[in-house]
Amino acid sequence: MTNNQSNDFVVIKAVEDGVNVIGLTRGTDTRFHHSEKLDKGEVMICQFTEHTSAIKVRGEALIQTANGEMKSEAKK
């Protein structure tokens, strides 16, 4: 992994209670290996690592990455 990739991180701030941040495995099979529940106002700073190649956010949250800022929405 290049140094650039290993430094990549994402900032997630929960806008509502019960936002789930789910880590997906790196490699041939893409499984969920870890989840984290965030309550309103809680912030999580996640890095892409040897084990995690993708991050999924469920629920309303504010997300900041190197590519910009976006908002995930709650399922209606």
Which positions lie near another protein, rule CB under 8 A? 18, 20, 22, 29-37, 56, 58
What are φ and ψ of residue 15, in 5° steps? -95, -25
Shortest Cβ 20–another protein spacing (Å): 5
**Helix (H) / strand (E) containing 37:** strand 32-38
- For another protein, the closer of residues 47 and 66 by Cβ is 47
Residue showing tokens 């190649």 = 53
- For another protein, the closer of residues 29 and 73 by Cβ is 29
Shortest Cβ 50–another protein spacing (Å): 17
- For another protein, the closer of residues 29 and 69 by Cβ is 29
Shortest Cβ 3–another protein spacing (Å): 26
Token readout for 52 is 């995690």
Where are the extended beta strands (E) located within the chain? 9-14, 19-25, 32-38, 43-47, 52-58, 61-65, 68-72
